[in-house]
Amino acid sequence: MALVGVQEGSTMELDLRFESVHEGILVSGTANVEVTGECGRCLEPLRFDRDADIQELFFYSDSESLSDEDEEQYTVENDVIDLEPVLRDAVVTSLPFQPVCRDDCKGLCSECGVQLNDNPDHHHEVLDPRWSALAGLTGTAAENDAATKSESDEREES
């Protein structure tokens, strides 16, 4: 599932220039679309405008420069061009791969899913299970150190 995209049926502002050239029609300009989705770190909803640059040559179908191997080339058919695949390719390639709500978004806690932007001091004590046998020793050692220190403090006072 994609994190961001353009909703089907949403409006698109186009500022395009169509130029007749020897091989066909050159289309250049920009497309402005509203992008919606969710942050890749914290999953909060996103909504922003994106400009995509467009420049594509539509070859005349009877053009000599168009060979049989050029199946991926766009063509002019019956004096009509189909802009949809060009616009889709331009917009999709301009979208961020991992969108974020802001540059310093901290995301979600990997242990419990708490929003770290709201609670930046949130953390969990995570113990490596390979060291679990030593966990009892650390607690005992700390208790022994505290007992030894209190005994030495009592001796100094006497």
pLDDT in tens, 56-83: 999 987 755 545 555 678 888 888 899 9
C-alpha 46/C-alpha 54 separation (Å) is 24
Q: What pLDDT score does 120 carry?
A: 85
Strands 4-5 and 12-20: unpaired
Question: pLDDT-based confidence at 152, cuts 50/70/90?
Answer: low
Number of helical H runs and strand E runs in the chain: 2, 5
Range from 44-48, 98-102, 130-134, 138-142 carrying the lowest mean pLDDT: 138-142
- Whole-model pTM? 0.62
Q: What is the pLDDT of residues 132-151, one digit of tens each?
A: 777 777 555 555 555 555 55
Q: What pLDDT score does 129 carry?
A: 82
Q: What is the pLDDT of residues 33-42, one digit of tens each?
A: 999 999 999 9
Q: Dig out the tokens for 67 from the structure.
A: 């060979």
For 87-141, give the secondary structure using H, E and C. HHHHHHHHCCCCCCCCCCCCCECCCCCCECCCCCCCCCCCCCHHHHHHHHHHHHH
